[in-house]
Amino acid sequence: MIHKRVHDVSSVDIRNGIITVRDMPVKSDRLGISGRCDAVEFFWSDNGITLHGRQGQWGICPVEYKHGHQKSGDCDRLQVTAQAMCLEEMFSCEIKEGAVFYHETREKEKFCLTEKLRENVRLSFEEMHGMLSRGYTPSVKKHRGCDNCSLKEICLPSLRQGKGFASVSEYLRLTLGGEEKE
């Protein structure tokens, strides 16, 4: 339900001077990615961008909505950092903050988009593009987060659990009883 409301493309809210655009498409040629932001907030700023049909200058803050609660690692912050990097390229601006809203705790975590987070995003996408160019599918261990993951149908973690399949290609080769043709 939370993502259904977030991804209602006709949903633009204006509250307390903040314009929130939901399900906003983003892309970065530098990172070689495209996707959608759950929400992007535009707020008054002394040194922001101009928005068509709006007076003044506006800062940008991507906001990701998650079902659960804050995690100990950086995975949610890295996702928002990647979104911010896309928005920076699209709007030719600098974004200093991102946010994650956790539905379970009803808390919005704002954080600085540090150079360390940005470098981790760049390195992760370099690694991803390298794997794609080699046709390599990384192994994954099924865990609690798999059930709510948007990539569950692509990654198929349950196929590998307990069976030791290194890849979908190996699964097909072993279950179909033949050698894979390239």
CA geometry: angle 148, 98, 15, nearest 5 deg:
95
User: pLDDT of 82-100, one tens digit each?
Assistant: 999 999 999 999 999 999 9
In the chain, which ranges are continuous DSSP H helix? Answer: 2-6, 75-91, 115-134, 152-155, 157-160, 168-176
Residue range(s) defining the domain that contains residue 90:
2-136
Confidence at residue 162, expressed as pLDDT on a 0 to 100 scale: 54
Quote the CA–CA distance of 181 and 108 in Å, as a whole number: 49
What is the number of structural domains in the chain? 2
Looking at residue 116, what is its pLDDT?
98
**29 and 103, same domain (yes or no):** yes
Q: What is the pLDDT of residues 133-157, one digit of tens each?
A: 998 877 777 777 787 777 777 776 6
Query: Can you tell me the distance from the alpha carbon of 148 to that of 81, in angstroms, rounded to the nearest whole number?
Result: 21
Pairwise CA distance, residues 105 & 121, whole Å: 26
Measure the CA angle with vertex 114, ends 120 and 72; round to 5°.
70
pLDDT, average across residues 62-90:
94
104 and 149 in a single domain? The answer is no
pLDDT of residue 145: 75
Q: Which of 115-129, 132-146, 152-166 has the highest mean pLDDT?
A: 115-129
Residues 104 and 170 in one domain: no
Same domain assignment for residues 81 and 6: yes
For residues 94 and 21, membership in a common domain is answered with yes
Do 69 and 124 lie in one domain? The reply is yes
Residues 45 and 113 both lie in one domain: yes
Least confident of 96-100, 167-171, 173-177: 167-171
